[in-house]
Amino acid sequence: MCRTEMIKQAFAKQFGYQAEQVSHAPGRVNLIGDHTDYNLGFVLPAAINFGTNVAIAKRDDNTIRVLAHDLDNQICEFELTELLFNPDLMWINYVAGVVYVLQKAGLVLQGTDIVISGNVPQGAGLSSSASLQVALIKAFSDLFKLQIDGFTAAKLAQQAENEFVGCNCGIMDQSISAMGAHSHAMLLDCQDLTFQDAPIPENLAIVIVNSNVKRGLVESEYNQRREQCEQVAKHFNVSALRAVTLAELESEQANLSELDYKRARHVITENQRTLDALAALKANDVSQLGRLMNASHDSLKDDFSTSTAEMDCLVSLIQSQIAEQGGARMTGGGFGGCVVAVMPKALVEAVTQNVKAQYQEQTGLRADVYVCAAVQGAFRA
């Protein structure tokens, strides 16, 4: 049974009538450009064929009832007029956060019944939360004919996470979930939200490997990295590191702490690698793309200190097998989570088998492998 039919059946079983709308938004993987988004730089994500479905229908009151189909069918309800953070049921805050920002934007809603279901691996850094929030905004937009466009949806989803959920995220995850294109990655300028589609060669596979390292300390470490970047921007009297060149940074090295210097060096060089990766994709130069991805991992490990021994192990295993035919790097916030690799489709099976066996032998952990396709975003026409 397809996921759309499954969620329709779950809705009818729970609420006793048919859903009016079913929406979908994909998760994402970032091919290159990590920790650049909140520095108003460049990112190169792709929307992937793992995502979140939302079934929804209007009620005739102000109550929002929500069933989380994948979380043991937990159900929660709240009133449109009483939007409070729930510390005991974290998932409902993503729903309430979306309702909060839609109402704050002056959009008129009424009560709804909702079922949510997704297959984005949780806690792996593949944007299950952004996928959920974009799918919810798409559902509300279609149900109430709100005429929200893709980047408005992305900004609303980011606002919900920043202001209601309490995570100080950038704009990348929501933008690609809303506006990704089939068989393309997206070069997104996080300063002005302009973008270019970047074609992914037909013979190339995007492979995501979950290290299954539980991502502890993510929020505190993430916020610390962000503060360090902001500190360097302040030193240069600019609003974000996007405006600082590598030459300018190097000229001020003596006046910065070693940590702040390294954090900024990663961001500045990662921005250039991301622009170079766009050019490599457009030129169908997979070897160059691979070199840039490998260099990105080294920078995240050595300058930004967001990798782990297990992720380094995974990257090394993949790189040794694919050589010049692709690349591999950690992706996402770091401190666990996933590695992303690009390689010829013909190599995927052999690489998968070897990586699973070697990784378990070396770390005692199981690696989960997802072979992905780049898909359409929720709001992309």
Residues 251-286: tens digit of each pLDDT? 999 999 999 999 999 999 999 999 999 999 999 999
What number is the average pLDDT over the span 358-378? 96
Query: Contact 328/339 with Cβ under 8 angstroms?
Result: yes
What number is the average pLDDT over the span 85-98? 97
Q: At residue 171, does pLDDT exceed 90?
A: no
With a CB cutoff of 8 Å and minimum separation 6, the contacts of 302 are 262
70 carries an active-site annotation: no
Q: pLDDT averaged over the chain? A: 95
pLDDT by residue (tens digit) across 308-362? 999 999 999 999 999 999 999 999 888 888 999 999 999 999 999 999 999 999 9
For residue 124, the model assigns a pLDDT of: 65
pTM: 0.90
pLDDT by residue (tens digit) across 139-155? 999 999 999 999 999 99
Quickly count: other Cβ atoms within 10 Å of residue 338's Cβ.
Answer: 26
* CA pair distance 287, 323, nearest whole angstrom: 9
* CA pair distance 115, 182, nearest whole angstrom: 26
Q: Which amino acid is at 264?
A: A
For residue 123, the model assigns a pLDDT of: 64
pLDDT by residue (tens digit) across 19-41? 999 999 999 999 999 999 999 99
What letters, b where the CB count within 10 A reaches 16 and e where it falls short, cover 54-64? bbbbeeeeeeb
What number is the average pLDDT over the span 117-145? 90
> Facing residues of 185 across strands?
198
Is 97 annotated to bind ligand? no
Closest C-alpha among 154, 198, 172 to residue 38: 172
Share of the chain above pLDDT 90, in %: 90
pLDDT by residue (tens digit) across 191-212? 998 999 999 999 999 999 999 9
Q: What CATH number matches the domain at 3-199, 3.30.230.10, 3.60.21.10, 2.40.30.20, 3.30.70.360?
A: 3.30.230.10
Is 129 annotated to bind ligand? yes
* CA pair distance 140, 175, nearest whole angstrom: 17
Is 222 annotated to bind ligand? yes
Is 127 annotated to bind ligand? yes
* CA pair distance 156, 174, nearest whole angstrom: 9
For residue 128, the model assigns a pLDDT of: 86
**Would you list the domain boundaries of the chain?**
3-199
Is 153 annotated to bind ligand? no
Q: Which of 37, 113, 142, 173 is catalytic?
A: 173
Query: Where does the pLDDT of residue 216 fall: very low under 50, low under 70, confident under 90, or very high at 90 and above?
Result: low
Is 259 annotated to bind ligand? no
Is 316 annotated to bind ligand? no
For residue 218, the model assigns a pLDDT of: 66
**How far does CA 41 lie from the centroid of its chain?**
16
Query: Contact 182/47 with Cβ under 8 angstroms?
Result: no
Q: At residue 159, does pLDDT exceed 80?
A: yes
Query: Contact 68/91 with Cβ under 8 angstroms?
Result: yes
Query: Contact 212/367 with Cβ under 8 angstroms?
Result: yes
Is 364 annotated to bind ligand? no
